[in-house]
Amino acid sequence: MVEMKNQKPKIINVQCVSCDAKYDIEPFRYQCDCGENLDIIYDYASISQKWTKQDLAKNPDRSHWRYLPILPVKNAPKRTMQIGGTPLIPFAKIAEEFGVSEFFVKDDTRNPSGSLKDRATDIGIQHATEMGENTIVAASTGNAAASLSALSAFYGKNAIILAPASAPKAKLTQILQYGATLFPVNGTYDDAFALSMKISEKYGFYSRSTGINPILSEGKKTVGLEIAEQLNWNVPDLIFVPTGDGCIIGGVYKSFWDLKKLGWIDKMPKLVAVQSEGSCASVNALKNDGKIEPVSSNTIADSISVDNPADGTKALRAVKNSDGFGITVSDDEILTAQKELSEKTGIFTEPAAASSFAGFKKATESRKIEKNETVVILATGTGLKDIPAAQKKIEIPEAIDSIENLNL
């Protein structure tokens, strides 16, 4: 592992995404005084002097801790669950079928708890540890909570979870399986989020709530760092990102922004925010005056079902500053894309994660992609956590007791 002597000065400050106010990294604060979210700003000049692409190439650690010099914690944990280092898999046939130059799936279903959220949780738990915190509270549509529960079991932390009681049973089961304290909430994800904020304020617990804690988008950024490194620093033209709160797309944007500041890449990929038609506050804002108006969400893609995106400002910035676009897809388009993606790639995603493929398909129909462009879609979570959703496009055949009359 590359050692950066004296980690602390690597961060210059934290900066508000909205009013540009700047604060020291210590004492740690979640948000700006204006109520908006914060970015972590590193000392890129000094980091790039001590840490090069060649150093990185020599690092045998395949997990996301290989990017420690641009992560907001002092040390990597001594033992880890091997998070990140997920494959970026090319599918030439899909590229040919949809008329693009290259097509890749970044398969983050392979993280230990089955979703990209493990990246944010891992960095968040290390941050909590460095702050001396042992109890962590999170609101979640399901995956962030399952991730926090799993990693808390691994690192010996206490996890307190608030999730909509309507979340898929497998996700609620997963949370309890790892021994976390679960409070199912009678209401939406947004209601769970509000309650989690009250708990962390009242009891002083560390908050792993996506959308307010800047450390979490730094964790999610490791997916973008990996994509750039896996493509040998040839930035793809477009990345399709399933978008709910906006923390993942904000993190992906930050990864390429950081790499540009380090001088390791010279362009940004166009970032595409894919939302469900039934939950599209951010895409609406991109079409209108840029102001996010909350919606009343209703979609099968539970992980991106968000009324008022907590990281909406970062999501909009990611799309606008990368020259990307927003796109919405219907629940039926999502379920069709989910089945098709599995059949064409061997990757089984949940509906929210399949929305990136649905958005890609739709974008090729409306000619929003050029023939010579390279496309990456993020597969953000496994379909095994939501079998009833997949079963909407599947019929289990009748049982047989002989091989006669088989239609083979």
**Dist. CA 40–CA 24, nearest whole Å:** 10
Helices (H) and strands (E) in the chain, counts: 15, 13
DSSP 264: S
Nearer to ligand PLP, 247 or 363 (CB): 247
Nearest distance from C-beta of residue 224 to Zn ion, angstroms: 24
Nearest distance from C-beta of residue 404 to ligand PLP, angstroms: 44
Q: Does 319 bind ligand PLP (CB under 6 A)?
A: no
Binding region for ligand PLP (CB under 6 A) out of 25-33, 95-103, 201-209, 244-252: 244-252
Start-to-end CA distance of the chain, whole Å, equals 54
Nearest distance from C-beta of residue 67 to Zn ion, angstroms: 27
User: Which of 4, 68, 175, 247 is close enough to bind ligand PLP by CB under 6 A?
Assistant: 247
Task: Output the CA–CA distances (angstroms, integers) from residue 184 to 164, 189, 207, 384, 395, in the order listed.
Answer: 6, 10, 17, 21, 31
Angle of helix 117-130 relative to helix 143-155, nearest 10 degrees, comes to 40
The DSSP secondary structure of 370-386, one letter per residue, reads: -TT-EEEEEE-BBGGG-
- Show the tokens assigned to 91: 């599918």
Nearest distance from C-beta of residue 55 to ligand PLP, angstroms: 30
Q: What track of x and - describes contact with ligand PLP for positions 248 through 267 (by CB under 6 A)?
A: x-------------------
Nearest distance from C-beta of residue 352 to ligand PLP, angstroms: 4
User: Which of 380, 383, 386, 390 is close enough to bind ligand PLP by CB under 6 A?
Assistant: 380
User: Which of 80, 143, 213, 328 is close enough to bind ligand PLP by CB under 6 A?
Assistant: 143
Cβ neighbourhood burial of 143 (10 Å; 0-12, 13-18, 19+): buried
- Strands ordered across the beta sheet of 374-379: 88-90, 102-107, 374-379, 238-242, 270-276, 325-329
What is the Cβ-side half-sphere exposure of residue 387, based on CA atoms within 13 angstroms?
A: 5
Nearer to Zn ion, 29 or 62 (CB): 29
Q: Does 41 bind Zn ion (CB under 5 A)?
A: no
**Are 315 and 275 spatial neighbours (Cβ–Cβ below 8 Å)?**
no
Q: Does 384 bind Zn ion (CB under 5 A)?
A: no
Q: Does 222 bind ligand PLP (CB under 6 A)?
A: no
Please choose which of Zn ion, ligand PLP, none residue 1 contacts, taking the beta carbon within 5 to 8 angstroms, the exact cut-off set by kind: none
The closest alpha carbon to 316, from 6, 7, 17, 3, belongs to 17
Q: Which of residues 95-134 bind ligand PLP (CB under 6 A)?
A: 115, 117
Nearer to ligand PLP, 47 or 286 (CB): 286
Q: Does 212 bind Zn ion (CB under 5 A)?
A: no
Q: Does 36 bind Zn ion (CB under 5 A)?
A: yes
Q: Any residues with CB less than 8 A from the CB of 403 and at least 6 apart, and which? A: none
Please choose which of Zn ion, ligand PLP, none residue 303 contacts, taking the beta carbon within 5 to 8 angstroms, the exact cut-off set by kind: ligand PLP
Nearer to Zn ion, 314 or 361 (CB): 314
Size of the site for ligand PLP (CB under 6 A): 20
Q: Does 16 bind Zn ion (CB under 5 A)?
A: yes
Nearest distance from C-beta of residue 242 to ligand PLP, angstroms: 4
Q: Any residues with CB less than 8 A from the CB of 140 and at least 6 apart, and which? A: 117, 146, 148, 161, 162, 163, 189, 192, 209, 210
H helix intervals, 74-188: 92-98, 117-130, 143-155, 169-177
Nearer to Zn ion, 313 or 336 (CB): 313
Q: Does 25 bind ligand PLP (CB under 6 A)?
A: no
User: Which of 11, 32, 47, 148 is close enough to bind Zn ion by CB under 5 A?
Assistant: 32
Minimal CB distance residue for ligand PLP: 381
**Dist. CA 346–CA 348, nearest whole Å:** 7
Q: Which of residues 347-376 bind ligand PLP (CB under 6 A)?
A: 350, 352-353
The DSSP secondary structure of 175-224, one letter per residue, reads: HHHTT-EEEEESS-HHHHHHHHHHHHHHH-PEE--TTT-HHHHHHHTHHH
By the criterion CB under 6 A, which residues form the site for ligand PLP?
115, 117, 141, 143-144, 210, 242-248, 303-304, 350, 352-353, 380-381
By the criterion CB under 5 A, which residues form the site for Zn ion?
16, 18-19, 21, 32, 34, 36
